[in-house]
Structure 1
């Protein structure tokens, strides 16, 4: 069922297909491993995201679009906040992880920002976390989202800058070689390690006003669910790291053990939040 069929007052949200399984950023492990990755991502970033949504004043009756909804924790929170008089569209390339959400005001839609069209002047809030940093056509995606905002609506983007990852009191070079190797592999696939920085530039190039940005980082303890995010990331990249000769099998195993060690703490990437409001 399309968004238009389930929310008759909204025009169709999607007009194209998905990215397909050849996307370099889709984890190709078992489904339960992907669920674990999504849960770890929520554990790492949800608290700060919700604090910022509260600050933006999300209110009953709002119409919201959650782009790249993942497992749906933020979409569900938005659904609770906007109430039955509001609407939340939880959009992603893969929608099965969103099936657990049981709120009539939350609608699930398949969406690929790279090609699908959004309805104009529709949303009070559009939020996208760790989505644009994977897209080559960031500026086009931001323009589409701005067009979909109501006059006075807010765009809230969150993407990372990788510079701080693995900074630690353990040692000056704690996992520094792993950091360098992983981002080398990702850069070869088109990933931009300064993604959060570029969100701000993209927002400033649009009609948005009151554009601002801030960054936050999390201190991660080894062996926790937050740390599991980095374990799964390294395990996923392992074959590419070995094939490129950037790390040895022994070094990858050492790094995984360090990430699982509760005696280790390190800094996450900086997640940069960019905000802007569409003129009334």
Structure 2
């Protein structure tokens, strides 16, 4: 999703790789959790900030032949042709949603970037039918330790890169640790049966999660330079992350489900 202040601009030529890395790293977890809601033929679903559209397409297959999926973003997106899937330009912070309309709403890696995140959660809850499900997935980057690098300088450089990303995001109004707070916000909005689950993955040179970090050195290059990194440091940290010996932990990804009470 692209908006004023959002650091991962869909108009950036690197955005396609951003979506591919996220899908490879996280789609299996996201779809496993969605399947547990019982989503099936006839459900009406909303995918907010759809990005590359992989989750919207998965949902469209699940709700076929009589259900529907609406995939939204603030810029036009190509989610591919599917008879049960519609894409729409929509700003979740400003544009309306129908009340009590959706059986399932999913929003992944978006709300941490929106200063209005709590109000958006309340809007999404209003858009659920009684008994409907909301699934929110967000990072908590307070935990993503480096575990093994070629030398101590490499470890410090990697940590500097992660810190620069957090500074850049906070400057744009994001909260890179919001994942840990999502469950409480959902509870305050009136949902029940809330189930927050933390996920963590190893980062190594072949892992999609680490490839996403390498990608960020390109996608966020201008912003990273503006908060104190240099092109030489970015080139060096890429080499660190590509070293066969490199090992780190991912940040925590919280996948949180909650249900709207039946009327």
Give TM-score, length-normalised by structure 2: 0.90
In structure 1, list runs of 5 or more residues that go unmatched: 1-17
Say whether the 8 Å CA contact 1:60–1:82 is kept in structure 2. yes
Kindly state the Cα deviation for residue 161 of structure 1 after the two structures are TM-superposed: 0.1
Give yes or no for the alignment of 1:141 onto 2:120: yes
1:200 shift after superposition: 1.6
SS at match of 2:146: coil
1:155 matched to 2:137? The reply is no
SS in 2 for 1:163: coil
Stretches of structure 2 that go unaligned for 5 or more consecutive residues are none
Aligned counterparts of 2:98 and 2:221: Cα–Cα separation in 1: 41
Match of 1:78 among 59, 64, 70: 59
Deviation of residue 58 (structure 1)? 1.4
Contact 2:16–2:52 (Cα < 8 Å) also in 1: yes
State the aligned residue count.
Answer: 258
The CA RMSD measured in Å over matched residues stands at 2.1
The answer to whether structure 1 residue 106 and structure 2 residue 85 are counterparts is yes
After superposition, the C-alpha distances for 1:223-253 in whole angstroms (9 at most, x for unaligned) are 5544331122122333333333x33332221
User: Contact between 2:103 and 2:133, CA under 8 Å: does it hold in 1?
Assistant: yes
SS at structure 1 position matched to 2:41? coil
Q: Which region of structure 1 is more displaced relative to structure 2, 65-74 or 163-172? A: 163-172
TM-score by length of 1: 0.85
Partner in structure 2 of residue 191 of structure 1? 174
Matched-pair contact (CA < 8 Å) for 1:221–1:265 = yes
SS in 1 for 2:258: strand
> Which segment is superposed worse, 87-96 or 133-142?
87-96
Q: 2:246 aligns with which of 253, 264, 270?
A: 264
Contact 1:37 1:228 in 2 (8 A): no
Following TM superposition, by how much is the alpha carbon of 1:221 offset from its aligned partner in structure 2, in angstroms?
2.4
Are 1:180 and 2:159 counterparts? no
2:259 and 2:212 map into 1 onto residues whose CA distance is 32
